[in-house]
Amino acid sequence: MGVISLSPTDLTLAGFIVFLLGLLSLQQQLHFTKRLYLAAVRCTLQLLLMGVILQLLFNSSSFWAVALMAAVMLLTAGQAAGSRQTKPLNGWWPYIFSLAAMFISSFTVTFVALTVIIDITPWYSPQYAIPLLGMLLGNTMNGVALSMDRLTSNIWQQRQIIEQQLMLGRRWQEAMATPIKDAVRAGMTPILNSMATTGIVSLPGMMTGQILSGTAPIEAVKYQILIMFLIAGGTGFGVITVVRLASTRLFDERHRLRLDRLREK
């Protein structure tokens, strides 16, 4: 069976489900109707815009066009990850660390996947490069945001314990061992839970989309396994990198905790 094309009417009917949910929220005073509708409109517009952009990229297959698209995706993900802390670092450091961590992890893993695993020619083919990078950036962004938030919150809550350990002569790496491990675990929890339940509790979106588009189920499964492993690697490297960078920023060369480098959001 080939791909079943969806008409505007089909999408409108699907949107009606969201409309009914908003009415239910309004009726029960759950106070998320406005956010739901705005999110639905943004989702629709952003996906339509992405569809047009991807079609242009597929037609051109230009390295610089793909690079520009990748840069926009990275900057957007960095802004989103850097703005999700309840006790963020001062200045531009949350964005800088988020960008650095995602660039090091997601771009490296995507490059390895395109050049070594999939071995597509050219390696920057937009049909493969943009979707892979998008999935890695999206998941790494969540991991980075969660880990940074947990790290800075833990440091603020445990500041007296950390400072006491420093006064006893411990290096900041030793005093921060527990908060760092906790932050890394927080950032990795979503992807670990997803990997543990994929195929039993849920069928991932990419795999479902491939099957609906007519791809043989076993091929869809193989690509989904590849994606899950890539996401796990990208998220893990990104989380470890950003936690290390943020921790370093919060201590000076004399191993003193610099709480003045944190601010209220």
Structural domain boundaries in the chain: 1-60, 62-261
pLDDT of residue 243: 94
Residues 187 and 241: beta-carbon distance below 8 Å? no
- Cα 208 from chain centroid (whole Å): 20
pLDDT of residue 23: 94
Pick from 43, 102, 105: nearest CA to 76? 102
Pick from 124, 134, 35, 151: nearest CA to 77? 134
- The size of the chain, in residues, is 265
Cα 67 from Cα 57, distance rounded (Å) = 11
Structure tokens at 236: 């893990």
For residue 107, the cross-strand partners are none
Burial of 150: CB neighbours in 10 Å, binned 0-12, 13-18, 19+: buried
3-state secondary structure of 180: helix
Burial of 136: CB neighbours in 10 Å, binned 0-12, 13-18, 19+: buried
pLDDT of residue 67: 92
Triad 77, 83, 86: Cα angle to 5°? 140
The dihedral formed by the CA atoms of 243, 249, 255 and 260, expressed in degrees to the nearest 10: -120
Rg (CA), the chain: 22
Listed as ranges, residues in the chain with pLDDT below 50 are none
3-state secondary structure of 257: strand
Going by C-beta distance under 8 Å and a sequence separation of 6 or more, which residues neighbour residue 233?
A: 105, 109
pLDDT of residue 244: 93
pLDDT of residue 111: 93
3-state secondary structure of 64: helix
Burial of 92: CB neighbours in 10 Å, binned 0-12, 13-18, 19+: exposed
Residues 88 and 262: beta-carbon distance below 8 Å? yes
Give the pLDDT confidence of 149-176 residue by residue, as tens digits: 999 998 888 888 888 888 888 888 888 8
Residue 171 phi/psi, 5° resolution? -75, 160
Prediction pTM value: 0.82
